[in-house]
Structure 1
């Protein structure tokens, strides 16, 4: 099973996806870590582009082929990135659960963005203004939407686990 999280920075994707990966004893692939490692290797920040997603998707596919559950944590901002994850699931012949995390309270979302401290050495978090200008595309398919302003991380994990259990019984 491949569970892919998407959503703007500061919505709570990493908190929820980490907890979910622990609950499922799954591989947790965080695109931010991969992208920062690419930058740390000397690739200019503006040249990283889609490389982080390509690496994450390749790692996901390899782990899925080994029978592992994979939880991907990424902004997943455009249709092309979402299609990439769908293709990985199709090639691996596994179920795909897509999760979009939103924070429907703009003041809370902004507070989170402005107060958070990166847990990845060297990673520069985007500003609130950068997030507002990011060009995040609307989703074109059904997915589980979690409003992190209305539900706790534990409730969010329970919601995804409920979908995963339905998938297993199908």
Structure 2
């Protein structure tokens, strides 16, 4: 598997799927979630609204992933995952975050995707410490056993985050 870091807007990447760091409703929000919904157009929201809700609007529980089409995005698909809200690490957040990455990679493999792009899941409004999330993300992707995807991109909106991913990738 080829792993790379790209600085810029995840919504512009020509990959098979981009990952949306979503909320439970999958209907858009702030940060990368809102940016993906805006760039994909109203069809993405309509498709998400058609997904079954389990309890009180929860279409995707924490640590799981759902797939939709990319609509107006260059990516053919959007894989939505709900990362954990940071509560000091005592609520199983590392296992939940690892589950997010694995669930997304599994969907990419199921759909025979060559390339997938991840944002820094849970590092925005969900408050997961970057210094803990980046090593976990890199380790989880590196230990993925599937043949697909063949390429994983860590998409970083700012140079500081990109530097963290590059440094972590250089360590091993």
Shorter chain as denominator, the TM-score bin is: 0.3 to 0.5
TM-score where L is the length of structure 2:
0.40
Larger radius of gyration: 1
- Provide TM-score, normalisation by structure 1: 0.40
